[in-house]
Amino acid sequence: MTGVRPSTQNTIINRWARHGFTFVEMNWPRGPNKMLSYNDRVQIANPRTLLRMRHLSLQQRAHLLKEELNLEKLSPSTVWRCYKEFGAKYVKPKIVYKSKMEREALIC
């Protein structure tokens, strides 16, 4: 990525370390780990929660979960990542239209 061989990078870093420079890792947390605790992520992927919200879209689920868990913000992609982490599958709700005869039977 930098165009410098890893062995050369290690040599430079070791030389800097010998002269008193310190290094800080720049691994910033990202995704659901940044703002959600483990318990929140478990709550989102809980089978009871999934069954309760099965008729809602992903955006609607994110909005309701944000209110339930008292979070500052929660995006649909974060909810999807929590589903993916715990192996839950989001299935888009399907709209099934009744046949013309069934609709007429309901009207009568």
User: What are the structural domain ranges in the chain?
Assistant: 33-89
Please state which of the ranges 25-39, 40-54, 58-72 shows the lowest mean pLDDT. 25-39
The interaxial angle of helices 76-86 and 58-68, nearest 10 deg, is 90
Instruction: Map tokens 């009871």 to a residue.
Output: 48
**For residue 62, is pLDDT > 90?**
yes
Q: What proportion of the chain, given as a percentage, has pLDDT over 90?
A: 20
| C-alpha–C-alpha distance, residues 74 and 41, integer Å | 11
Average pLDDT, the chain: 80
Instruction: For 56, list phi and psi in degrees, rounded to 5.
Output: -95, 155
Instruction: Map tokens 């290094």 to a residue.
Output: 23
Per-residue pLDDT band at 32 (split at 50, 70, 90)? very low
**Predicted structure pTM score:** 0.55
Extract the tokens encoding 51: 């069954």
